[in-house]
């Protein structure tokens, strides 16, 4: 079956919640994070994507706005962040997550921000061009249980080496709390 990738629609919200809930079975508050991002001014609606298989939503990814704060130079850079990526467990292993990430990054390429940041698996995301953020002077505070290289960035066409600093997530991420 063909997997279609397209922007989410309001009618997809319940199905997205179910996919995210199933994909993050051990982190049941992640669907709330999706809602908080969706309701925030940092949401990038055209980069909140669903994967459809046989007409059903089987995957979801969001790219939203964030900031890098360069305290040393007193600068702030608008950037993007990719979070969360979810694929229904019964549909995992079919390339759906990869298709979602590629589509989201292709859309991000058309924007003016310099990079996309994320906290994710250093075994998964480098295949798309994500790099350890520390190599580029970007600081991402990852949870204690995650390795430091889980903080990664993907460079976009408007990237310049002067874009550095610490990632400051938008309020949706700071309101969200793991149980």
Chain centroid to CA 81: 5
* pTM recorded for the entire structure: 0.93
Domain boundaries defined on the chain: 3-175
For residues 107 and 114, give the distance between their C-alpha atoms in angstroms, rounded to a whole number: 13
What are the angstrom distances between the C-alpha of 92 and each of 66, 98, 100, 138, 139? 28, 10, 12, 31, 31
Check: CB of residue 168 under 8 Å from CB of residue 140.
no
In the chain, pLDDT over 90 holds for what percent of residues?
86
Give the model confidence (pLDDT) of 104-114 as tens digits: 999 999 999 99
Contact 57, 80 (CB under 8 A): no
DSSP H helix total and E strand total for the chain: 4, 9
Q: pLDDT per residue over 133-146, tens digit each?
A: 999 999 999 988 88
pLDDT tens per residue, range 140-174: 999 888 899 999 999 999 999 999 999 999 888 87
Give the C-alpha separation, 44 to 108, whole Å.
10
The correct answer on CATH 3.40.50.12780 for the domain covering 3-175 is no
């Amino acid at each position: 079956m063909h997997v279609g990738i397209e922007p989410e629609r309001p009618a997809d919200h319940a199905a997205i919640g179910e996919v995210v809930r199933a994909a993050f079975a051990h982190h049941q508050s992640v669907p709330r994070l999706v809602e908080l991002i969706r309701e925030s001014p940092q949401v990038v609606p055209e980069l909140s994507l669903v994967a459809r298989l046989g007409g059903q939503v089987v995957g979801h990814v969001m790219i939203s706005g964030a900031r890098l704060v360069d305290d040393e130079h007193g600068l702030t850079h608008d950037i993007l962040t990719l979070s969360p990526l979810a694929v229904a467990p019964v549909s995992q292993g079919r390339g759906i997550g990869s298709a979602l990430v590629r589509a989201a990054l292709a859309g991000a390429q058309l924007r003016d921000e310099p990079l996309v940041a994320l906290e994710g698996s250093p075994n998964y995301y480098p295949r798309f061009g994500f790099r350890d953020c520390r190599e580029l002077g970007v600081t991402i505070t990852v949870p204690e249980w995650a390795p430091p290289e889980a903080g990664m960035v993907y460079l976009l066409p408007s990237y310049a080496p002067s874009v550095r600093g610490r990632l400051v997530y938008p309020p949706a991420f700071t309101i969200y709390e793991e149980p």
